Amino acid sequence: MDKTGFGSLSPEEMDALKELGNIGVAHAATSLSTMLGKVVEMSVPNVFVARISEIHNYFKDELVSGVVTALEDVENGRSGYLYISFPNAEKVAKLLIDDASLVESAIMEVGNILSSSFCNAIADMLGIMLIPSPPSFSYEMSIAIVEAIVAQIAEKSDYVIIFETELKEKDDAIDILVTLVPDERFLGYIMKMFGMLG
């Protein structure tokens, strides 16, 4: 049963969600550029709202590197998780630190920056205060990660939001998936933002 209305968003609401993702990754790209001393651009070409029972249609059945961060809402405690996965982790390591052998540390660094700036940017947009936990590295099937996260949020979460992200440095492009697993309250913040669209 879909009490939140999240299963049937209007095109305008989907656009707003995409914009939320774009602002999140744009902030992340700025932080990343500063750290690396070179210009990195990021954008969200597509956003998907996926039912938990259908997430196997969005992730490949293979091992992938990523980071998981728990999101604490200052007023109400744990309110969701952010999972950032890198289907081309070696490429990320090569592009960003010019060393493909240091995949885990590269992903941890990049994941840390991405999750904290993404989190700050969307908290601003939603008018809340979010504190991300230190990221945890994972090398696992994405579905197993998302499923284990959803189990933490327990029965109150039926949807995940997947921001398909593209990172560009000069002519190189790397795909990244930013998956937001919100609990019911967090979904409420997003719905409230939609309400302000007028």
Partner 1 sequence: MDFVVGIGEAKIAKSGVLKTIGLGSCVAIAIYETKLKVSGLAHAMLPKSNGLKSAKFVDSAIEIMLDSLISMGCDKKNMVAKIAGGAQIFKHLTLENLQIGERNVEAVRTELKRNGIRIVSEDVGGTLGRTVYLYASDGRMLVRYSNGEELWI
Question: Can you give the binding site for partner 1, defined by CB under 8 A?
Answer: 51-56, 59, 61, 63, 68, 70, 81, 133-134, 136, 138, 140-152, 154-155
Nearer to partner 1, 16 or 55 (CB): 55
Nearer to partner 1, 61 or 98 (CB): 61
CA separation for the pair 178, 161 (Å, rounded): 8
Nearer to partner 1, 22 or 142 (CB): 142
Bridge pairing between strands 159-169 and 41-51 = antiparallel
Reported as type and span, the H/E element at residue 130 is strand 130-132
Report the phi/psi class of residue 170: left, alpha or beta, with left for phi > 0 and alpha for psi in -120 to 50.
Answer: left
- Report, in Å, the least distance between residue 182 CB and partner 1: 16
Nearer to partner 1, 36 or 153 (CB): 153
- Report, in Å, the least distance between residue 40 CB and partner 1: 28
- Report, in Å, the least distance between residue 64 CB and partner 1: 10
Quote the tokens at residue 154. Answer: 């327990």
Contact 82, 178 (CB under 8 A): yes
Quote the tokens at residue 155. Answer: 């029965």
CA separation for the pair 112, 136 (Å, rounded): 9
- Report, in Å, the least distance between residue 80 CB and partner 1: 12
3-class DSSP assignment, residue 82: strand
- Report, in Å, the least distance between residue 103 CB and partner 1: 16
